[in-house]
Amino acid sequence: MPFVTTKDGVEIFYKDWGPKDAQPVFFHHGWPLSSDDWDAQILFFVSKGFRVVAHDRRGHGRSTQVSDGHDMDHYAADAAAVTEHLDLRNAVHIGHSTGGGEALHYTVKHGKGRVAKLVLIGAVPPLMLKTAANPGGLPMEVFDGFRSALAANRAQFFLDVPAGPFYGFNRPGAQVSQGAIQNWWRQGMAGGAKAHYDGIKAFSETDFTEDLKACEVPTLVMHGDDDQIVPIADSALLSAKLLKHGTLKVYPGYPHGMCTTHPEVINADLLAFIKG
């Protein structure tokens, strides 16, 4: 299997599918999943002739289950290790949820001359945590609850999240996919508990405000207005205002995991943005 070894010795698993001379589309997955969460997008973009790359974040999926480095600086550096190893240029980086923060941080810190466009889907920037400067954020108790649930029974927690708020399956009349729930659980349990525990701090407490202001590439911000994991009012609506070249697209009624629940809509909009 293809791996790249980072400067601090972590083996990062990646997929590199499609023609090597085609424009690259690089996918950054959410917490606590893996590159497999992008199956519906990867297959679509390969079929359209793109080179598609997706990696498993450190401690997630098939990458090394290390004890340390579960923060945005390391996440971005690990993504850079993959892009540099494959020498990806003119790439479109697409990040979902935690992966949106990672994709943004990578673009600003490491992507100069390599990134053509950026897409943030249900993404955590600018800042999830409620603070004096971010009164609309979620209180620390929410994230402490995540940590407690994970430490007490990670396997059950990783069933409850996709069966409930992640895909909006807790909404009246929702079409529940047992396969999607089980696939979420499978991806989560493949990763390391330490990485997932520490990752909660990374996605909830990292302030991406300066990254958003510094981002120079055209950026599409996509968010469902019924996102129960990353509420839209304190994420996408603020991010779009901070970006120099940002475009906001809101999806009425769509959940956090809309790439899985509505791939035909999301894929078409991604393709239009990339080709636009």
3-state percent breakdown (helix, strand, coil) of the chain, nearest 5: 45, 15, 35
Given 97, 204, 235, 239, the catalytic residue: 97
| CA–CA–CA angle 232, 234, 240 (5° rounding) | 75
CA distances from 132 to 124, 202, 206, 243, 273 (A): 18, 19, 15, 22, 35
- CB 130, CB 149: distance < 8 Å: no
Given 227, 234, 235, 239, the catalytic residue: 227
Task: Please tell me what DSSP assigns to residue 56.
Answer: P
- CB 147, CB 197: distance < 8 Å: yes
Is 63 an active-site residue? no
CA-to-CA distance for 110 and 168, rounded, in angstroms? 35
| End-to-end alpha carbon distance in the chain | 34
Rounded to 10 degrees, the C-alpha dihedral 140/246/213/199 comes to: 30
- CB 201, CB 100: distance < 8 Å: no
Q: Containing H/E element for 204?
A: helix 193-205
| Residue whose token pair is 């990646």 | 14
Given 60, 74, 93, 256, the catalytic residue: 256
Is 97 an active-site residue? yes
Is 256 an active-site residue? yes
Which amino acid is located at 24 in the chain? P
Active site residues: 97, 227, 256
